[in-house]
Structure 1
């Protein structure tokens, strides 16, 4: 594929090579060619387009590597589980609160939203002060 990545970008050779691979039943090679096309195309974009392209490349490989999304979920869940295990939010009422599970807490998107400073909490987290203190402070009149 080195011969495709010249100075000037033309998508047609990439697409024709990918179609040739598909016709031969080599779908993995076709995806690799189309992925290379997307990566090469990024060089000619404006800064904002390159940043957006980099985000798409890292997260899901422009759609040609969707398993990366699952990998990111696992990595973020592990980070959240470790962070909330080390620094768990204190319960509002220790005698009435359920057992705290850091991984389940990290899985709840409202934990990430409330940790970022927003006041959008789900009822499942209402026993923990990280979320409840912010919600009650934001709703007091």
Structure 2
């Protein structure tokens, strides 16, 4: 999610989302299994794909030109064409380093998530 952070909020797809870090250009990321269906809310999107994978249903949802992917339980999965409200929990959003042009998360974010650093000795 590319946008600009101002006063701890990222303006993206016409919605204000909580965003860590300083003001300026930013890219936020969230894992699809952390995107939640909500009863109501400002982040509304249209489901364009709903694919049953066994453990979950992979949803692709569009809000204008903006695309989000979510993994939801089969029992709560909407159908392609349905409009849904999505929630992006603030504690699950990652701010990528720089202005979002970097390829991945910083070493600090990798450490917090338990992911190995690309600079770590593989032995």
Is TM > 0.5 for Structure 1 vs Structure 2?
no
Tell me which structure has the larger Cα radius of gyration.
1
TM-score by length of 2: 0.24
Higher strand share goes to which structure? Answer: 2
Kindly indicate whether structure 1 or structure 2 has the higher relative contact order, using CA contacts under 8 Å at least 6 residues apart. 2
Higher helix share goes to which structure? Answer: 1
